[in-house]
Amino acid sequence: MIPLAHVGHYLWILYVLPVLLVIGGIVRTMLLERRRRSKEGGDGP
């Protein structure tokens, strides 16, 4: 049985999710940029 009466204790997760999504987006963007830069550097003389 799901303890629905206690679901309120976990509402904070819904407030943390946007922060995690933004941090995930930032990390992904930075990794992609780093990969692109190292590729551009490798193509050079």
In the complex, the residues that contact another protein under the rule CB under 8 A are 8, 11-12, 14-19, 21-23, 26, 29-30, 33
Select 18 or 44, whichever has its Cβ closest to another protein. Answer: 18
In whole angstroms, the minimum distance from the beta carbon of 6 to another protein comes to 12
Which residue type occupies 41?
A: G
Residue 35 CA to residue 17 CA, distance in Å, equals 27
In whole angstroms, the minimum distance from the beta carbon of 15 to another protein comes to 4
Structure tokens given for 31: 């990794």
Select 12 or 43, whichever has its Cβ closest to another protein. Answer: 12
